[in-house]
């Protein structure tokens, strides 16, 4: 996982890491839940909502379409209710409830979270590169595993208690015990999925989280705060990547005073980064002469990132 404030290079490094791993012969999926479609831009392909798209040998990329996911989620709920209770058509009040629930602001986040769980627990790839949304949203998504797990745990416990009261479901159809078991099985299935994904995302042997930052004072301060928050969710922090570093040898050249001041300021902030994060700073990636889009530029970043 690559995280940090918006616009610092998370997508660039996600693509570069995926490219480098694919070059080593590993089957890799780079994916994002960010609606701004940054992976589409960097790979120069329309990826949004199309599922995994092959970029090159061993490398696939995917951008999740939240709206499509919500609609698919609605239909999945409808079908499960039909199957559980033997309905050919859903009663109007149930359909109205599904429509109302889908309009809730949290529904989009829930659908995206469910999509991420699908991707992580399937295990079709050797490596998954998760291009996280900016810090605040990333913390929200990572915390959802804990919230959902607690909520599903309570609902499952209540459902188990309800099994003792057959009369509650007796009017649904003759075999009320089967109905109860189907509902409980579904809850246990959801709980297992959430716990499985949570275990993967917090397993230091399986997951690495990298913070991306640039040599600017506010970015350093925000990264320190974010690292403290991420640690509360047991995200395995593996190190920091400093992006957009101006080449030091510019000082030896005849450069404008403005650029010389920028280099001096950068030097102070690089020293602060070293003092703050120490050996956890893994590498520095230079400011490049143009935007990173297309495989040739991604390859250049991969060389800096993984050398």
pLDDT digits (tens, 9 = 90+) for 42-86: 999 999 999 999 999 999 999 988 788 888 878 888 888 888 788
CA dihedral 167, 172, 177, 183 (to 10 degrees): -110
Give me the helices (H) in 176-216, please. 176-201
- Domains defined for the chain, CATH in brackets: 2-68+105-306 (3.40.50.300)
pLDDT at 140 over 70: no
Confidence of residue 178 (pLDDT cuts 50, 70, 90): very low
As to burial, measured by CB atoms within 10 angstroms (0-12 exposed, 13-18 middle, 19+ buried), residue 16 is buried
Angle, helix 10-23 to helix 295-306, in steps of 10 degrees: 90
pLDDT, tens digit, 9 for 90 and up, residues 210-267: 999 999 999 999 999 988 888 877 778 999 999 999 988 888 888 899 999 999 999 9
Q: What is the pLDDT of residues 288-299, one digit of tens each?
A: 999 999 999 999
Distance CA 294, CA 35 (A): 20
**CA-wise closest residue to 128 among 191, 59, 195:** 59
Kindly report each contact of residues 120-126 with a partner whose C-beta sits within 8 Å and lies 24 or more positions away, as own/partner: 120/196, 120/197, 120/200, 120/201, 121/193, 121/196, 121/197, 121/200, 124/27, 124/29, 125/27, 125/28, 125/29, 125/60, 126/21, 126/26, 126/27, 126/28
3-state class of 156 per DSSP?
A: helix
Query: What is each CA distance from 14 to 61, 225, 253, in whole angstroms?
Result: 10, 22, 33
Mind giving me the DSSP string for 250-276? Answer: GGGS---HHHHHHHHHHHHHHHHHHHH
DSSP code, position 130: E
């Amino acid at each position: 996982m690559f995280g940090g404030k918006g616009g610092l290079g998370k997508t660039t490094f996600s693509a570069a890491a995926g490219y480098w791993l694919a070059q080593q012969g590993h089957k890799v999926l780079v994916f994002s839940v960010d609606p701004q479609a940054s992976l589409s831009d960097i790979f120069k392909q329309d990826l949004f909502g199309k599922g995994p798209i092959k970029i090159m040998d061993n490398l696939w990329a995917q951008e999740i379409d939240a709206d499509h996911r919500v609609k698919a989620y609605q239909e999945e709920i409808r079908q499960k209710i039909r199957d559980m209770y033997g309905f050919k058509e859903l009663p109007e009040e149930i359909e109205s409830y599904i429509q109302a629930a889908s309009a809730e602001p949290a529904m989009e986040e829930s659908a995206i979270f469910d999509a991420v769980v699908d991707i992580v627990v399937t295990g079709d790839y050797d490596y998954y590169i998760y291009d996280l949304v900016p810090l605040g949203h990333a913390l929200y998504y990572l915390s959802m595993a804990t919230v959902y797990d607690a909520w599903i745990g309570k609902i499952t416990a209540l459902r188990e208690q309800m099994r003792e009261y057959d009369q509650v479901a007796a009017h649904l159809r003759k075999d009320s015990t089967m109905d109860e078991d189907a509902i409980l099985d579904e809850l246990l299935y959801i709980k297992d999925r959430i716990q499985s994904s949570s275990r993967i995302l917090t397993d230091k042997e399986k997951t690495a989280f990298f913070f991306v930052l640039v040599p600017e004072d506010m970015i350093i301060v925000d990264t320190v705060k974010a690292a403290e928050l991420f640690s509360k969710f047991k995200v395995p922090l593996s190190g920091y990547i400093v992006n957009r570093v101006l080449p030091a040898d510019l000082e030896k050249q005849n450069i404008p005073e403005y650029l010389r001041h920028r280099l001096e300021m950068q030097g102070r902030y690089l020293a602060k980064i070293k003092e703050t994060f120490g050996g956890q700073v893994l590498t520095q990636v230079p400011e490049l002469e143009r935007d990173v889009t297309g495989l040739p530029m991604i390859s250049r970043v991969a060389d800096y990132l993984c050398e």
